[in-house]
A and B are shown apart, each in its own frame.
Chain A
Amino acid sequence: MDRNEVVTRVTKVVSEVLNVPEANIKEEHSFTNDLGAESIQSVELVAGFEEEFDIEMEEDKALKVQTVGDAVEFISGYLS
Chain B
Amino acid sequence: MSLNEQFIERAKAKPRRIVLPEADDQRMVEAAARLADEGIAIPILVGDPAISAPAGVEVVSPASDERAAAYAALYAQQRGVKEGIAKRLVKKPLMFGAMMVSAGDADGMVAGVANPTAQVISAAGLGVGYAKGVSQASSYFVMVVPGDPDRVLVFADCAVVVDPNAQELAEIAVITARNARKLLDVEPKVAMLSFSTHGSASHEHVDKVRKATELARAMAPDLAIDGDLQVDAAIVESVARKKCPESPLAGQANVLVFPDLNAGNMGYKLVQRLAKAAAIGPVMQGFSRPVNDLSRGASVDDIVAVSAIAALQCE
Contacts and interface: CB of A to CB of B under 8 A. Distances in A.
Given A17-B81, A40-B125, A40-B126, A47 B118 contact: no
Nearest to B126: A40
B121 interface: yes
B221 interface: no
Interface in B106-126: 118-119, 121-123, 125-126
Q: Which of B84, B85, B95, B125 has the most CB of A within 10 A?
A: B85
Given A44-B79, A44-B126, A39 B118 contact: yes
Chain A: interface size category: 10 to 19
B88 A40 contact: no
Contacts of B239: none
Chain B: interface size category: 10 to 19
Nearest to A60: B116
Nearest to B94: A43
A48 B81 contact: yes
Q: Is the interface of B mostly helix, strand, loop or mixed?
A: helix
A29 to B, nearest CB: 20
A51 B84 contact: yes
A40 B122 contact: yes
A22 interface: no
Given A16-B81, A16-B82, A17-B81, A47 B122 contact: no
Contacts of A40: 121-122, 125-126
A15 interface: no
A61 to B, nearest CB: 14
A16 B84 CA distance: 12
Contacts of B126: 40-41, 43-44
Contacts of A19: 80
Contact of B88 (A16, A42, A47): A47
A41 B85 CA distance: 12
Contacts of A48: 81-82, 85
A39 B95 CA distance: 16
Nearest to B75: A44
B125 A47 contact: no
Interface string A40-56: 11111001101100000
B89 A43 contact: yes
A77 B186 CA distance: 56
Contacts of B121: 40
B82 A51 contact: yes
Contacts of A44: 79, 81, 85, 89, 126
Interface in B38-96: 79-82, 84-85, 88-89, 95
Interface in A25-42: 38-42
B88 A50 contact: yes
B125 A51 contact: no
Contacts of A16: 81-82
Given A16-B82, A38-B125, A43-B126, 9 more contacts: A19-B80, A39-B118, A43-B123, A44-B79, A44-B85, A47-B85, A48-B82, A50-B88, A51-B84
The 4 closest A-B pairs by CB, nearest first: A40-B122, A47-B88, A40-B125, A51-B84
12 contacts: A17-B81, A39-B122, A40-B126, A42-B122, A43-B89, A43-B119, A43-B123, A44-B126, A47-B88, A48-B85, A50-B88, A51-B88
